[in-house]
Structure 1
């Protein structure tokens, strides 16, 4: 988790810098980040390797039929330590640099056409590369705003309607602002005039999940919808004062997880919740919390309901009838504040049987709530 966080911060700094910046990563850091990524995308396996003059990354992706597709990329250090030689492979078939460079150019052009924006070529982005003593060092020149351009590459056929999410966000903010709220009140306001059936009901429910995250976590959560943040006024209203089971942090965990599940693969939202708690267990964090994790998993269930065409239409009546319980009181008794050392002593890691049992207890508690049942 520490490795993934460090690499993410380094790349984010490069992407926001006005000048080229160096990035260094040890093999241990890359292996740690690869493990974290595989936890969030179970079908993906990455294996980095560093040699005397090259960095190689092998990848395997499990297809729907259970077959694994393997591929790799290799950056070989140039004599002047400038732009490296880039080659690759598909399965056992090697692709030399002479062929790989044209393939990169084709992929670059296709990405620009899909996103409608210009991306730097690999030669423009990678200014220097070298390996040594178990680490890879690279100098990158990335334009500001690159991450927003990359986000446009994601499939948008089933994207959440950002304009609807914005309308719901503004209307609910005007209606609810000025007093402390319980999280069910926020969802009730967002579902007041929701359609009951069909694609319209699902579209409203998914947009409501994003709008709730914007109200509780912050307007930037609108990025989970297509154009959800872009059309808002530069002077954005403040978030509302919202709590869940008497705690504001639990409302934030729940609302963001619900929005993630409604807009993306729930497995990714589940992994993000776990990663956040693992990050909290590091020095300076608040500690690993199974209470927070319970709120995450409860939010994921609501988001899954919103994304389900057969169930999305039921949310209007459920929130209109009363204030449904979103988190069982039992969850507040789960262990909190664990350091990394304490967590590892009790559970080893997130793939252990002990950790699976702890998560099963959370899910069993959620199953007692009518709105949370699957």
Structure 2
């Protein structure tokens, strides 16, 4: 009987999903995330990541305000996504809209409700206006679980194994999760891999450059020049080398964990390699880290992700306990993104190899070192209002004009 109900429910989804998706609830355009939104999202993400490193089950709590802050940050980084968490006395409902090609919005949602018997909650949902009861959602979750395991080639817990309890009280959602160690690494394997950076090439470049430069103070341009030594100058071979060089530079400058940006690099990474080298840019180690990580992100993924992460980092720094919003750091981020974008472009990757073969070009204009730093959240809001304002756009444009003066940054 359960199989018959599932088949009937699945048929209903197939027959009516198209019409239902177009008539589902539309979520209003998101607000601009503030510094406090970024801090709340960061803390929530750290709490969730902490459950994957805990020994045994652990509880995670998220207030409605925290979830709404995280939603604003997420939508800022993924403009085609709109998400609205809603908390009731006994349930958490998450509505979502995704903009498809052609401008069509697909709408849906999940509802996680307390179980009368306690423990694993009741999970239902909807696709547009079409309800998806739990007897339909549960088998679909099972299918998604199997598909994820097949794609990643690793074992994932089922929802019943991962969610041991749920309740909504005092304006917050409380869940008891049992997530295995290494889950986050396994989840990263779900990303599309057709155009992944070759981890073996990354590790070879890393080891070669480490042996060549040695454990001494280094300028970041010299690191890239070493990584591009003997690099191909044309076509896909040049692109493959340049992208691998971006990740290897991040490993040398930020730390070996940057190897996660390449396929298989972290698994093959030798444990005796040092954690990080003494690398600076324009005399500052922090700028080298900003630059190298941004370049690796742009080479491995969508550059818009790197731009969003750099902005969020500065907003978080503007709050108490941080070093303040820094347009110098932002300049290093945006310069790194440009280099990473060039590395990912077959028409420009060979040009990078030629430029670095001719020497170690400047990667950051000296004029950017005079930009404003140490801006508190209050001062930032007074001067620029928010990261979507015309005032902030003008400040970023000044940074970009400075970067335009460097030949290696030319677009």
Normalised TM-score (structure 2): 0.89
Q: Which moved further from structure 2: 133-142 or 74-83?
A: 74-83
Cα-to-partner distance string for 1:238-257 (whole Å, 9 max, x where unaligned) = 42221111111101100000
Cα-to-partner distance string for 1:280-331 (whole Å, 9 max, x where unaligned) = 1122111111100000000000000000011111111101213212111111
**Distance (Å, rounded) in 1 between the aligned partners of 2:210 and 2:160:** 47
Matched, 1:35 2:111: no
**Distance (Å, rounded) in 1 between the aligned partners of 2:204 and 2:157:** 35
Q: Which residue of 2 aligns with 1:335?
A: 372
Q: Which residue of 1 aligns with 2:63?
A: 26
Cα-to-partner distance string for 1:27-68 (whole Å, 9 max, x where unaligned) = 110010111111111211111001121111111111222222
**Distance (Å, rounded) in 2 between the aligned partners of 1:9 and 1:238:** 22
Question: Aligned with 2:252: secondary structure?
Answer: helix
**Distance (Å, rounded) in 2 between the aligned partners of 1:2 and 1:244:** 27
Q: Which residue of 1 aligns with 2:282?
A: 245
Q: Which runs of 4+ in 1 moved over 4 A?
A: none
Cα-to-partner distance string for 1:120-169 (whole Å, 9 max, x where unaligned) = 11111111111123211111111111111111111101000000000000
**Distance (Å, rounded) in 1 between the aligned partners of 2:212 and 2:396:** 37
Correspondence list, 1:182-261, <5 A = 182-261=219-298
Structure 1 residue 350: Cα displacement: 1.3
Q: Which residue of 2 aligns with 1:86?
A: 123
Q: Which residue of 1 aligns with 2:52?
A: 15
Question: Aligned with 2:350: secondary structure?
Answer: helix
Q: Which residue of 1 aligns with 2:139?
A: 102
**Distance (Å, rounded) in 1 between the aligned partners of 2:104 and 2:410:** 33
Structure 1 residue 337: Cα displacement: 0.8
Q: Which residue of 2 aligns with 1:297?
A: 334
1:178/1:111 CA distance change after superposition, 3 Å:
closer
Question: Aligned with 1:273: secondary structure?
Answer: helix
Q: Which residue of 1 aligns with 2:346?
A: 309
Q: Which residue of 1 aligns with 2:158?
A: 121
**Distance (Å, rounded) in 1 between the aligned partners of 2:347 and 2:131:** 47
Q: Which moved further from structure 2: 339-348 or 327-336?
A: 339-348
Q: Which residue of 1 aligns with 2:355?
A: 318
Matched, 1:267 2:294: no
Q: Which residue of 1 aligns with 2:172?
A: 135
CA RMSD, 1 decimal: 1.1
Question: Aligned with 2:346: secondary structure?
Answer: coil
Structure 1 residue 170: Cα displacement: 0.6
Query: Structure 1: which 5+ residue stretches go unaligned?
Result: none
